[in-house]
Amino acid sequence: MKAGQGLKKSLATQKRRRKMTHIHTNMCKNPNPMCKNQKHIDMLEKFYNNIVESLKRAASEVLTNSPKQKHNAPGWNKDVREKHKAARQAYLYWIDNHKPKSGPLFDIMKNVKKSSNMH
């Protein structure tokens, strides 16, 4: 990011927030959900579209479309990948040994399962 771009982005965000607040505070004060005032309908539609666009932008910043990835998993990182790999190997070893219900392999699986469920 070039010098000054962060400030410009921050100012643009503040401007959008002020605009959204203005739209919200100028909406219909009538509690009737079936308001037919076209100005109010247009403002609500614009407000809705702004929310949808904001969500789309946020999602596109978080989720990447890498051709190497079959799907995106927010929060997935190298640490999680390593723990998942170890858990998967332990699980496959347990399966290869006919899913013992006791003994050292059972204890390993129990501990792996317990540690993977902790958040």
Estimate to the nearest angstrom the gap between the alpha carbon of 48 and the chain centroid.
20
Residue pointed to by tokens 């904001």:
54
State the pLDDT at residue 36: 76
* 67: in domain: no
Q: Going residue by residue through the chain, which has 119 residues, state the pLDDT in tens, using 9 for 90 and above.
A: 455 555 566 666 666 666 655 554 555 566 666 677 788 778 888 888 999 999 888 887 776 666 666 666 767 777 788 888 888 988 899 999 999 999 998 898 888 888 766 55
CB 114 within 8 A of CB 103: no
Structure tokens at 59: 């999602």
Q: Clarify whether residues 55 and 87 are in a common domain.
A: no
State the pLDDT at residue 100: 92
* 1: in domain: no
State the pLDDT at residue 1: 46
State the pLDDT at residue 76: 75
State the pLDDT at residue 4: 54
Residue 66 Rama label (left phi>0; alpha psi -120 to 50; beta): beta
Under DSSP, the state recorded for 63 is S
Q: Clarify whether residues 25 and 54 are in a common domain.
A: yes
On whether the pTM is more than 0.85, the answer is no
* 19: in domain: yes
Count of domains forming the chain: 2
Range of the domain at 33: 10-62
